[in-house]
C-alpha cells in the first residue's frame, strides 16, 4: 500500500516537472521568435574585448574586437542567412535565455571572464551579466553565436 502511494507521488512530481519544463520551453521559443536584437559582449578586467551584435530585423551581424586599452582593432559587418537566424533563435530558446537571471556571479574566482547579453524583444529588453559564472545551458547559445560569428 505504501509503495503504491509513493509511486503515485513520484509520478505526479515527474509529471509536474515535465509540464513545467514544456511550458518554459514554449514560452522561451515564443520569446526567441520575438527577438529584434541580440548583443553579446565578452569582457576582461572591466574592458569590453569582443562584441557580437545581431539585428534580426535587418539580418545584420556586427563583430567588434578591442584591445585592453579599449581601442577597436577589428570591425566586421555582414548579413546572416534565414537559416542562421532560425538556428540562433532556437539555440536561445533551448538554452532558456529569455528566463535567465539578471546576473550570474562567482566570487570564488578573482580573474576570469565577464560577459553580458542584451536582448531586445518587441516590447521589452533583457540584460544578463555574468562574472565567472554561467546559466546551466549557456554553452548552447554561446556556441551558436560563435558559429555564426566565425563565418563572417
State the pTM of this model.
0.86
Asked if 129 and 87 touch (Cβ cutoff 8 Å), the reply is: no
Number of domains in the chain: 1
Beta strands in 3-151 (DSSP E): 37-44, 47-55, 60-66, 72-79, 103-105, 114-120, 125-131
User: pLDDT tens track of the chain, all 152 residues?
Assistant: 678 888 899 999 999 999 999 999 999 999 999 999 999 999 987 789 999 999 999 999 999 999 988 899 999 999 999 999 999 999 999 999 999 999 999 988 877 789 999 999 988 999 999 999 999 999 999 999 999 999 88
The pLDDT value recorded for residue 113 is 86
Question: With the C-alpha atoms ordered 120, 126, 130, 134, is the resulting torsion angle positive or negative?
Answer: negative
Question: With the C-alpha atoms ordered 103, 108, 111, 113, is the resulting torsion angle positive or negative?
Answer: negative
Q: What would the DSSP string read from start to end of 91-121? A: HHHHTTGGG--SEEE-TT-SS--EEEEEEE-
Q: Which domain holds residue 83?
A: 2-149
The pLDDT value recorded for residue 59 is 95
The pLDDT value recorded for residue 1 is 62
The pLDDT value recorded for residue 30 is 95
What CATH code is carried by the domain that includes residue 122?
A: 3.30.1560
Amino acid at each position: 500500500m505504501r509503495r503504491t502511494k509513493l509511486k503515485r507521488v513520484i509520478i505526479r512530481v515527474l509529471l509536474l516537472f515535465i509540464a513545467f519544463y514544456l511550458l518554459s520551453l514554449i514560452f522561451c521559443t515564443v520569446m526567441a521568435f520575438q527577438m529584434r536584437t541580440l548583443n553579446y559582449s565578452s569582457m576582461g578586467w572591466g574592458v569590453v574585448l569582443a562584441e557580437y551584435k545581431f539585428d534580426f530585423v535587418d539580418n545584420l551581424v556586427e563583430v567588434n574586437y578591442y584591445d585592453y586599452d579599449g581601442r577597436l582593432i577589428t570591425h566586421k559587418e555582414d548579413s546572416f542567412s534565414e537559416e542562421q537566424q532560425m538556428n540562433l533563435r532556437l539555440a536561445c530558446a533551448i538554452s532558456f535565455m529569455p528566463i535567465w537571471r539578471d546576473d550570474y556571479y562567482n566570487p570564488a574566482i578573482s580573474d576570469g571572464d565577464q560577459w553580458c547579453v542584451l536582448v531586445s524583444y518587441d516590447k521589452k529588453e533583457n540584460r544578463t551579466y555574468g562574472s565567472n559564472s554561467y546559466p546551466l545551458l549557456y554553452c548552447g547559445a554561446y556556441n551558436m553565436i560563435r558559429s555564426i560569428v566565425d563565418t563572417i
